[in-house]
Every structure is written in C-alpha cells, then in structure tokens.
Structure 1
C-alpha cells in the first residue's frame, strides 16, 4: 500500500509551509487538522501527521507507539514504511480517516485516554477547552 499519495503529500507540505511562514512572520502557529493516519494492523501503534518537511520523509504530528504516552513530534516515513510485521503485513494508511479536529485536540485527548483516540465526545471537549483557553489569553501589549 502507498502510504503517501501525491495529494496527501501536497496537503502535508502546504501545512509545513504555512507553519514555517507563521514562525518567520511572528504570527500564531497554525493548528491544522491531521491529514494522514498510519497504523499497525497488528498492534497499538498509530501516527497522525499534519506536516511533511522538504526532505519528503520527515513528518510532524502525533505519535503513539502503544506504551500509553502519545506525543507530538517528528517521525520518519521511510522508517515507518520499512516495518515488516508477521504474515507479510506492514504499517497501513487509514483510507477512511478524515481529521475533524485540530491536532492539538487529538493530542490533548490522547494524553487523557493514554492513546490516540477518535472518540467524538472527548475530542470535542478537548477542542472546546483549547479554544476557550486561546480566547482567554491576554494579548501582548504594544511595547512587548
């Protein structure tokens, strides 16, 4: 199975470019929806990706190797693709996954659940809490 189609690659690259531009311009960094979900069909490992670096290999997103401590960070597409499982299986792309919440909501919900989850109520609560926290932030004063 192809883990990364040209369409997914383009969407992931667009997010990476937008992220870099926000950093360079001093704007709030975007919190995009996950675009890609990879998973181990025989285990608990799951990855949600939002960005792809220029190298075409380094993804950024939420990684859960099944040890109860999912975390945000970078991971290698080629390393994930090289995993060989019993019975000739390998890591797969979830063909039916559509990110419905920002990555931060998936990360917050995963910390609560101890794993990446698609539980609608938990994700919605995490997204609402994040939005309320963002709205209540005190804006910086003009002099810093």
Structure 2
C-alpha cells in the first residue's frame, strides 16, 4: 500500500512550513495486526521526517520516519497501512490530550467521535 498520496504529501509539507499551528492530522497510519498508530500533521522538507502523535504503547508527540514505517514487515506479508477513511477532524492537541487521558489513540478516537462534534475549521472541538 502507498502510505502517502501526492495530495497528502503536499499538505504535510505545507503544514511543515507552518510550525506554530495546531494542525489537524492529515493521515493516520496503523499496524493492522497489533499495537501501533501514528497521526501525522507535518512532513519535513527531507521527505521522510513526519511530526505528529505516535502510539506504540503510550501516545506521545514527536517525530517519526516515513521510511521506517514503510520498511516494517509484519506476518502474512503485511505492513503498516494508511487508514483510508480517516478524516482527522480535530486539531492534534485535542488528539494528544484525549489519547493521553484514554491511554491510546484508538481509545481516544472512539471517545472523540462519540462525545464531540467534529469541526473542520480548527476551532475548539471538545464539548463544553
């Protein structure tokens, strides 16, 4: 599977040039056979270094490598996949807070979409 479309790459690069913005995640990568979820908001000019929220046992903000994600080989010939239905909807700070409180990105996703009304304009998306 191609992990990034051209449009996603372009948006991630554009976000990478705007570091002080609370971006909405552009893409979600996941391990289809176990732990591992990554939400990417930015891509460095090197074309490899992504920034976002990573969860490989504990959710934390930071950088991760597109090349490393692509090189991971799982049983049955599988690899890391891109969630084709993922829309982001919430700024990365909302994702990070929810993931830390829930214990994982997957749990946070269920909670966010069950309790909050997503807004694509980047405004506060949590219920009051």
Aligning the two structures, in what range does the TM-score lie when normalised by the shorter sequence? 0.7 to 0.9
Q: How far is 1:44 from its partner? A: 2.0
* Matching residue of 1:102: 91
Distance 1:110 1:36, change over 3 A: same
Q: What's the CA shift for 1:118?
A: 1.2
CA contact (8 A) 1:109 1:123 kept: no
- Tell me how far 1:6 sits from its aligned partner: 0.8
Deviations 1:30-73 (A, max 9, x none): 101000100000012100000000000000000001x2x20000
Which sections of structure 2, spanning at least 5 residues, go unmatched?
118-123
Higher share of residues assigned helix: 1
Can you give the 5+ residue segments of structure 1 that lack an aligned partner in the other structure? 20-28, 133-144
Residues paired across the two proteins, number: 118
TM-score of the pair, normalised by structure 1: 0.76
SS in 2 for 1:33: coil
- Matches of residues 13-28 of structure 1 in structure 2 within 5 Å? 13-19=13-19
Distance 2:102 2:64 in 1: 22
The match for 1:36 among 27, 35, 40 is 27
Q: Indicate the structure (1 or 2) with the bigger Cα radius of gyration.
A: 1
Taking a change above 3 Å as real, the CA distance of residues 55 and 99 of structure 1, as seen in their structure-2 partners, is same
Partner SS, residue 37 of structure 1? strand
CA distance in 2, matches of 1:72, 1:121: 23
- 1:31-70 → structure 2 map (5 Å cutoff): 31-65=22-56, 67=57, 69-70=58-59
TM-score scaled by length of structure 2: 0.86
Report the Cα distance in structure 2 between the residues aligned to 1:50 and 1:17, rounded to whole angstroms. 11
Tell me the SS of whatever aligns to 1:18: coil
The residue that corresponds to 1:112 in the other structure is 101
- Give RMSD over aligned pairs: 1.8
